[in-house]
Structure 1
Amino acid sequence: MERRVFISKLAQLTLLASSPSLLATPVFKKAVWVDKPHLPNYLQECYPCLFNEHLVIAGALEQSTPESATMGAMDASNSCYLFDLCKQAWRLGPQLPVKRHHLGLLTTSQGILAIGGFSANKSDPWQVKKDTFLLSDLDDHWQASVPLPNPQAEAGYATINNDAHVISGRGIIYGRLADVNDHVFFDGKQWQRAAPLPLARNSGACVAMDKGCLLIGGRIQDKRHQNQSQVDFYDKNADKWFELAPTPFASSGIAAAKHNNKVYVFGGEQYNYSINRAGITMMHSKTFKHIWQYDFASDKWQTLPISMTSTRHGLGAISTEDGIYLVGGAQRAGGELTTNTVELLTFQSDY
């Protein structure tokens, strides 16, 4: 289906275009950053979820002691942190049975599903896993759940019609770590196959919609971590992917959330390579603090006049009634200047 026809159909059929305000040209209204209580520790590479009026973070790269650190000053975490939205306070939740980083978290009717991720030691910090764990109550314990069909991490994660979708990211191909286009979903009993992502990539952002999900940006491991601007929409009913308008520029390590019928993308990082006069390959990196907004009615992105308070990648974004929470991340590419920052982006009015 041609993209313009698909967008028109999507705008008519989804709740995203049910409001008359969405048919007008979007005009930015004032948005304000509000500082929130900091995380109990410095962490990045997290995929938080919202469960029973709590922000939940588990399985990340967390600041560690020199003896335990496996990646610079960081190590995979088995900690679970809970932020009570009513009390506006953090507390420790049930500890994970294993240490993981880049662990996917999704809210389902059965509870919080923790999916895949990497285990780490000093000799190999990128051991991709397929085990999953379920937390049915915030005061209970994590229980082993049905493992993924294949190891998968740094993927896109979305709950669609109560099914937990895991899309692309990194897995194992011919015995080596590589980008995979696998797309599977858990229906509460077993994992099932769904349409694979057209362009395999990792470190993008995934946002659940009313009838599917968006997979935004990311990078390709085998192309020297080349960032991508591609945006794909998964139509759950048709079990098909459709390419949408690309992001303003290519980025990875981003976070995204849906709020007030718009999609917002935050931050990210970039790696570039050059060869110096001695013939040695040099790596250059940067991080970003932009905020992009996507509008379905026009299939267009815009860069908002407000930006993040600092550059960050590997952060988490969660939408609530009060606005969008940003948690953690690192101010420099890789594991440098990891933060414990928690901020809420509040909007003066809809736009």
Structure 2
Amino acid sequence: MWKFLQLLVLPAVLFSGCAKAGGLDWHTLAPMPIAVQEIYPAVHNGKIYVAGGLSDALPEAEQQMTAAVQVYDPAINRWTMAPLLPEARHHAYLLSVDNKLFLFGGFVIANGGRWSASADILQLDETNGVWRKVAQLPKPLTETVAVVLNGNVHFVSGRSPSGPENAQWRDQADVNWHWVFDPLSLTVSKAAPVATPLNSASAVALKQQLYMMGGRKVGAGNLALLQRFDPALSQWQQLAPMPQASGGLAAAALGQHILVFGGEYFDNDGGVYAPVWQYDAAADSWQQQGSMPLPRHGLGAVTLNNKVYVLGGATEAGLKATSAVLEVVTLSDN
């Protein structure tokens, strides 16, 4: 059985800092060993996994991207390293389903660039400590959203090559695809597409429905859309839009609410969004829950043990000011 390489050990007295924002309490935990942005972390067997990512702190000779897989154990506030990915990769979607950890798509170094979209589906072989390619998506896919519904993985939107070239970000185009991955047969089928092609949105599963919020269209800027997919009816529904259009954001479900964090904008010299938005699914309404202590884009958010963990990202728009911060968010009345 392979073992994690221990990188960082901190006392189990967890918090190095805390803040209150709106109805939320924020606490700072052990930082990631490697600061990364453009990540989609996953909870797997009670731990938080972060695979790959971009960072301005990484060498330009390595294209400022990593194959590292970082693992956080909330029980002891400690980071370790899991087996490396076969190659450096960013914007790759990590999900745990059927007690297996999968990695989907993302950008790799190929064809002379670091923005070559991949169709790979990788699975972590935990017994032998290696990632294995087990299947492929129908087409390369990046900057998508994904959630698990009824034991299957639903992918919606993102970017894919618009022609034969596949090396640079400009070679990709927004898509409105909706695919469903079966972890048992390792096959992908089509589902009802979303109305608007877009990328860099965020999504959560709540009451076995998919909620997708925000995102952006190349050439048209950020979106405030909130869209819900009901797999029982195979239908999409438009809901109350976000108070602030945003792309490159993160979201997580906490109880019967959805919390939305960060994002970036590129007009007026660019920047990142600070407000935290809470969506009440029963009332179809939004309200602000304070602001992030450290606003970021390209970050990740996951729910574990009735807490939301917010990690990584960058404090400035684009590939700069990448952060290693890990924060845990709870409701103040907890």
Name the TM-score class by shorter chain.
0.7 to 0.9
- What secondary structure does 2:301 align onto? strand
> RMSD between aligned alpha carbons?
1.8
Structure 1 residues 307-326: aligned runs within 5 Å: 307-326=291-310
Question: Any gaps of 5 or more consecutive residues in structure 1?
Answer: 1-27, 273-282
Question: Is the contact made by 1:105 and 1:112 (CA closer than 8 Å) also made in structure 2?
Answer: yes
Task: Tell me what 1:332 maps to.
Answer: 316
Task: Tell me what 2:53 maps to.
Answer: 60
Question: Is the contact made by 1:116 and 1:152 (CA closer than 8 Å) also made in structure 2?
Answer: yes
Pairwise CA distance, 1:85: 1.8
Pairwise CA distance, 1:138: 7.8
Please list the CA deviations of residues 294-322 of structure 1 after superposition, one character each: whole Å capped at 9, or x if unmatched. Answer: 00111011111x21112200000011225
Question: Is the contact made by 1:110 and 1:136 (CA closer than 8 Å) also made in structure 2?
Answer: no
- Go from structure 1 to structure 2 and tell me whether the alpha carbon gap of 1:320 and 1:118 turns closer, same or farther (over 3 Å shift): same
TM-score, with normalisation over the residues of structure 2?
A: 0.87
- What secondary structure does 2:291 align onto? coil
State how many pairs are aligned.
305
Question: Is the contact made by 2:44 and 2:99 (CA closer than 8 Å) also made in structure 1?
Answer: no
Question: Any gaps of 5 or more consecutive residues in structure 2?
Answer: 1-20, 165-170
Task: Tell me what 1:118 maps to.
Answer: 107
Question: Is the contact made by 2:22 and 2:291 (CA closer than 8 Å) also made in structure 1?
Answer: no
Task: Verify: 1:168 aligned to 2:142, yes or no.
Answer: no
Task: Tell me what 1:252 maps to.
Answer: 247
Task: Tell me what 1:17 maps to.
Answer: none
Pairwise CA distance, 1:121: 6.3
Give the strand-richer structure, 1 or 2: 2
- Go from structure 1 to structure 2 and tell me whether the alpha carbon gap of 1:138 and 1:320 turns closer, same or farther (over 3 Å shift): farther
Task: Tell me what 1:204 maps to.
Answer: 201
Task: Verify: 1:192 aligned to 2:192, yes or no.
Answer: no
Structure 1 residues 1-351: aligned runs within 5 Å: 30-62=23-55, 63-68=57-62, 70=63, 75-120=64-109, 123-137=112-126, 140-175=129-164, 176-188=171-183, 189=185, 190-223=187-220, 226-272=221-267, 284-304=269-289, 306-349=290-333
Question: Is the contact made by 2:214 and 2:245 (CA closer than 8 Å) also made in structure 1?
Answer: yes
Pairwise CA distance, 1:237: 1.0
Task: Tell me what 1:12 maps to.
Answer: none
Alpha-carbon separation, structure 1, partners of 2:324 and 2:148: 27
Deviates more, 1:132-141 or 1:102-111: 132-141
Pairwise CA distance, 1:123: 4.8
Deviates more, 1:138-147 or 1:45-54: 138-147
- What secondary structure does 1:149 align onto? coil
Pairwise CA distance, 1:120: 3.1
Q: What residue identity is the alignment partner of 1:251? A: S
Please list the CA deviations of residues 183-216 of structure 1 after superposition, one character each: whole Å capped at 9, or x if unmatched. Answer: 1111121101111111111111011122221111
- What secondary structure does 1:67 align onto? helix
Alpha-carbon separation, structure 1, partners of 2:160 and 2:59: 29
Question: Is the contact made by 1:44 and 1:315 (CA closer than 8 Å) also made in structure 2?
Answer: yes
- What secondary structure does 1:251 align onto? coil
Question: Is the contact made by 1:160 and 1:210 (CA closer than 8 Å) also made in structure 2?
Answer: no
Alpha-carbon separation, structure 1, partners of 2:140 and 2:239: 28
Give the helix-richer structure, 1 or 2: 1
Pairwise CA distance, 1:266: 0.2
Structure with higher Rg: it is 1
Q: What residue identity is the alignment partner of 2:84? A: Q
- Go from structure 1 to structure 2 and tell me whether the alpha carbon gap of 1:299 and 1:139 turns closer, same or farther (over 3 Å shift): farther
Alpha-carbon separation, structure 1, partners of 2:155 and 2:191: 10
Deviates more, 1:173-182 or 1:39-48: 173-182
Pairwise CA distance, 1:30: 4.1
Alpha-carbon separation, structure 2, partners of 1:205 and 1:313: 12
TM-score, with normalisation over the residues of structure 1?
A: 0.83
Deviates more, 1:175-184 or 1:243-252: 175-184
- What secondary structure does 1:83 align onto? strand
Alpha-carbon separation, structure 2, partners of 1:203 and 1:251: 9
Q: What residue identity is the alignment partner of 1:204? A: A
Alpha-carbon separation, structure 1, partners of 2:22 and 2:276: 14
- What secondary structure does 2:161 align onto? strand
Identity across aligned pairs (percent)? 31
